């Protein structure tokens, strides 16, 4: 195998090897492919293999995104602040949204229940920012205030429509399960959930008691 061929991507290498073997092993001389035929077939192989590589890359990215969403990796090992920081890195890369993250140094460890709930709230808020706000920036702030952990997530986007906002204020319900689900999680933890929104952006502020954690 020549040097340049060794640097080809692997599916192309294996596909081209198969094709070459197929060409060379054809019966009589008249049945063997000409150089032109060979290059035509190789060109086809290249297109197929490039498509395949692209598909594999897209599948890998999708699987990574799904695994981020389904299970908060690292949460048990490194704690909430570091897990959020890791997630935000991937989110910014995928969405192009710049996220300012403010996590206090030496944050205490919390229970697994609290970690998971707050990680999900940050995920859901960022998903909403990406999906609905049109904002190019997001801000996340974690702080300890007395015996509470406060998490604030905001954007600089178009804001939630007044109709959706007043429906949420009156009934605690939102059109999807995102905002109402976040609120239910927080209430379940004995905390408070605040939603502020206008044409300059949206902010959610969650405050949950940490006494006795973990
Ligand atoms: N950050 C945001 N900026 C603008 N609009 C938002 C934002 N978050 C939520 N919304 C609006 O509130 C609605 C309800 O959000 P949510 O309950 O998460 O449901 P879903 O995201 O499935 O629509 C969204 O459909 C959208 O109209
Ligand atoms: Mg949502």
45-72 pLDDT, tens digit per residue, is 666 667 777 888 888 777 766 666 666 6
Q: Which ligand 1 atom sits nearest the alpha carbon of residue 133? A: 3
Q: Kindly tell me if the per-residue pLDDT of 18 is higher than 50.
A: no
Residue 180 C-alpha to ligand 2 middle, in angstroms?
A: 9
- Average model confidence (pLDDT) for the chain? 82
Task: Give the number of the atom of ligand 1 that is nearest the alpha carbon of residue 174.
Answer: 17
Whether ligand 1 lies within 6 angstroms of the CB of 157 is answered as yes
Task: Find all residues with CB under 8 Å of 44, minimum gap 6, and list them.
Answer: none
Check if 154 has its Cβ closer than 6 Å to any atom of ligand 1.
Answer: no
Q: Could you give the count of Cα atoms lying within 13 Å of 126 in the half-sphere of its Cβ?
A: 30
The alpha helices in the chain, defined as continuous H runs, are: 3-6, 10-24, 35-70, 75-78, 80-95, 112-128, 162-171, 178-188
Q: How far apart are CA 92 and CA 151, in angstroms?
A: 19
Classify 71 as helix, strand or coil.
Answer: coil
Q: Is 132 in the pocket of ligand 1 (CB under 6 A)?
A: yes
- Domain 80-209 indexed as CATH 3.30.565.10: yes
Residue located nearest, by CA, to atom 20 of ligand 1: 176
Distance 194 CA to ligand 1 centre (A): 15
Q: For residue 2, give the 3-state DSSP assignment.
A: coil
β-pairing, 98-102 vs 137-145, is parallel
* pLDDT at res. 62: 74
Tokens of 170: 């009156």
For the chain, what are the domain ranges?
8-64, 80-209
Predicted confidence (pLDDT) at residue 32 exceeds the cutoff of 90: no
State if residue 129 touches ligand 1 by the CB under 6 angstroms criterion.
Answer: yes
Confidence (pLDDT) at 204: 98
Torsion sign (Cα): 176, 98, 103, 86: positive
| C-alpha of residue 115 to centroid of ligand 2, in Å | 20
Report the share of the chain in percent with pLDDT over 70: 71
- Tell me: pLDDT of 23 over 70: no
The pLDDT of residue 52 is 79
> Are β-strands 192-198 and 201-209 bridged in parallel, bridged antiparallel, or unpaired?
antiparallel
Q: Which ligand is nearest to the CA of 180?
A: 1
Give pLDDT tens digits for 87-130.
999 999 999 999 999 999 888 899 988 998 999 999 999 999 99
């Amino acid at each position: 195998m020549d040097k340049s061929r060794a640097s080809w991507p692997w599916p192309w290498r294996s596909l081209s090897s198969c094709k070459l073997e197929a060409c060379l092993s054809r019966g009589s001389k008249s049945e063997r492919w000409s150089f032109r035929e060979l290059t035509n077939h190789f060109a086809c192989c290249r297109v197929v293999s490039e498509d395949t590589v692209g598909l594999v890359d897209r599948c890998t990215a999708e699987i990574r995104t799904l695994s981020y969403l389904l299970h908060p990796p690292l949460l048990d090992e490194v704690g909430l602040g570091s897990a959020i920081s890791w997630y935000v890195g991937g989110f910014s890369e995928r969405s192009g949204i710049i996220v300012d993250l403010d996590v206090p140094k030496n944050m205490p460890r919390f229970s697994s229940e609290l970690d998971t709930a707050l990680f999900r709230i940050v995920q859901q808020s960022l998903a909403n920012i990406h999906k609905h706000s049109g904002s190019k920036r997001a801000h996340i702030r974690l702080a300890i205030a007395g015996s509470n952990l406060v998490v604030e997530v905001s954007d600089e986007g178009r804001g939630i429509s007044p109709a959706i906002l007043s429906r949420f204020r009156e009934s605690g319900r939102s059109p999807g399960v995102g905002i109402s689900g976040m609120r239910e999680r927080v209430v379940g933890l004995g905390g408070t959930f605040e939603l502020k929104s206008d044409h300059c952006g949206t902010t959610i502020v969650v405050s949950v008691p940490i006494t006795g954690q973990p």
